[in-house]
């Protein structure tokens, strides 16, 4: 019976893998490095100081129709940057300060049955290379958030280089913050929490101006319906903040000046009432080197 089970599983695996080998992956990837620098001589008047700022970005996308009824899309985004500043008086260079840090991987499986909408399932990992929030201890790949979601998806536009896809469903999130210092016991421990609710994602990208400019926009909305720490917050001023929707809206304009030179404008709007009662805006305008890997 055991051998029969192994043979059955092997046959099913071959049946699944065979069509996968027949169709190639649609791959795309690019990396870019931006650098900003200014310096002043020692006799410069006015209290100016030198600054050196750099950011490295990497994007990779792997997409494939695994089966007539199964489509997968996998996206990886990496970003890290630092700013080095010079003391105005001593002209000594201070320790670099992190200006950008992101590790974001998401896989989406869409079941293409040919209906008005398609069922989907997705998994996402969000973290950063270096957590410098604690001055006494730097932690790598911390904190970490896992998100699992399932529901329905709709591809509104699907062309050669233009796509607009939306997803709506249920989402579950797990948050891990390692080696957090407890001020009462003076010991470090891992703090975990989880929540669940409704998730909406809109992902759009298109070429512009004869494909010399690329625009990408991703909007994510999460409305929590339950939170594992809700009881611990009872009676505190922000006990109901977790009930407010979380928003993450990213917009990127990338203009190709030449084959290896690009201008990048990045705008991000974040809203999470548990972190800040107002929206947080990040804007980056940079000129740098780019290389298309695939």
CA 4/CA 278 separation, integer angstroms: 61
CA 62/CA 73 separation, integer angstroms: 6
Q: What is the pLDDT along the chain (294 residues), one digit of tens a residue?
A: 444 344 444 444 544 554 544 468 999 999 999 988 887 777 776 667 888 999 999 999 999 999 899 999 999 999 999 999 988 777 788 889 999 999 999 999 999 998 999 999 999 999 999 999 898 899 999 999 999 999 999 999 999 889 999 999 999 999 999 999 988 888 999 999 999 999 999 999 999 988 889 999 999 999 999 999 999 999 999 999 999 999 999 999 999 989 899 999 999 999 999 999 999 999 988 889 998 888
Strand, coil or helix: 17: helix
Please name the residue that has the structure tokens 């990045």: 266
Query: What DSSP character marks residue 115?
Result: S
- H or E stretch at 223: strand 213-227
CA 173/CA 195 separation, integer angstroms: 5
Q: What is the pLDDT of residue 157?
A: 95
Strand, coil or helix: 22: helix
Which of 176, 156, 157, 274 lies closest to 222 in space, CA to CA?
A: 274
pTM comes to 0.86
The chain-wide mean pLDDT, for the chain, equals 89
Structure tokens at 173: 């999130």
Q: What is the pLDDT of residue 46?
A: 66
Q: What is the pLDDT of residue 3?
A: 44
CA of 281: how far to CAs of 130, 170, 198, in Å? 21, 27, 24
Domain positions in the chain? 2-292
Q: Which CATH architecture has domain 2-292?
A: Beta Barrel (2.40)
Which ranges constitute the DSSP H helices of the chain? 2-22
CA 126/CA 211 separation, integer angstroms: 30
Tell whether the torsion through CA atoms of 104, 105, 111 and 112 is positive or negative: positive
Q: What is the pLDDT of residue 174?
A: 98
């Amino acid at each position: 019976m055991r051998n029969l089970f192994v043979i059955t599983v092997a046959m099913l695996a071959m049946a699944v893998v065979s069509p996968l080998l027949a169709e190639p992956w649609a791959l795309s990837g690019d990396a870019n490095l931006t650098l900003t620098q200014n310096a002043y001589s020692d006799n410069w008047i006015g209290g100016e100081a030198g600054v050196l700022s750099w950011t490295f970005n990497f994007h990779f996308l792997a997409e494939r129709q695994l089966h007539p009824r199964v489509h997968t899309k996998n996206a990886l985004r990496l970003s890290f940057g630092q700013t080095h500043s010079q003391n105005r008086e001593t002209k000594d260079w201070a320790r670099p300060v992190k200006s950008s840090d992101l590790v974001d991987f998401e896989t989406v499986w869409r079941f293409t049955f040919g209906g008005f909408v398609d069922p989907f399932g997705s998994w996402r990992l969000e973290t950063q290379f270096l957590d410098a929030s604690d001055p006494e201890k730097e932690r790598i790949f911390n904190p970490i958030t896992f998100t699992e979601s399932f529901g329905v998806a709709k591809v509104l536009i699907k062309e050669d280089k233009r796509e607009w896809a939306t997803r709506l469903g249920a989402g579950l999130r797990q948050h891990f913050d390692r080696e957090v210092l407890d001020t009462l016991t003076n010991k470090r421990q891992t703090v975990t929490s989880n929540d669940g609710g409704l998730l909406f994602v809109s992902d759009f990208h298109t070429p512009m101006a004869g494909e010399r400019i690329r625009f990408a926009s991703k909007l994510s909305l999460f409305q929590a319906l339950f939170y594992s720490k809700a009881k611990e917050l009872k009676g505190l001023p922000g006990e109901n903040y977790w009930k407010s929707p979380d928003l993450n809206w990213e917009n990127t304009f990338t203009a190709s000046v030449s084959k290896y030179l690009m201008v990048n404008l990045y705008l991000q709007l974040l809203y999470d009432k548990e972190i800040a009662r107002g929206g947080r805006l990040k804007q980056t305008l940079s000129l740098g080197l780019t290389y298309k890997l695939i």
